[in-house]
Amino acid sequence: MSFREKVIETVAELSFIPADDINQDDTLTSLGFDSLKMVELIVALEDEFNIVFNDSDLNPENLTAVESIINLIEKHTEE
C-alpha cells in the first residue's frame, strides 16, 4: 500500500466514509473534519508513518484538502 493510500485510509477511518469514496481533491471540511478531528488525524498520521510534524507544518490554512495532507506526509517521508 502506498503512502497516499495509507493517508486516504486513515482519513476514511476517522471520517467514517469509505476510502473508495474519498479522493485527493476532497476538502477535509466536506469529509466532516473539525478542529478536534484534525488533531486526531495528525496524531494518527504521526503514528502511522512514525514521524513528528513541526508546528509550522500544522497551519490549518495549509491543511484544507486530502491532497495537502498527502503533500505533508510526502515532505516528511522524503527527508
pLDDT at 33 over 70: yes
Average pLDDT, the chain: 93
CA distance 43 to 26: 20
Average pLDDT on 46-58 reads 92
Q: What domains can you pick out in the chain, each with its CATH number?
A: 3-78 (1.10.1200.10)
Average pLDDT on 61-69 reads 94
**Ramachandran region of residue 7, left (φ > 0), alpha (ψ -120 to 50) or beta?**
alpha
Percent of the chain exceeding pLDDT 70 equals 99
- Residue 3 confidence (pLDDT): 85
User: What DSSP state is assigned to residue 17?
Assistant: S
Residue 27: φ, ψ to 5°: -80, 150
Average pLDDT on 27-38 reads 96
pLDDT at 59 over 80: yes
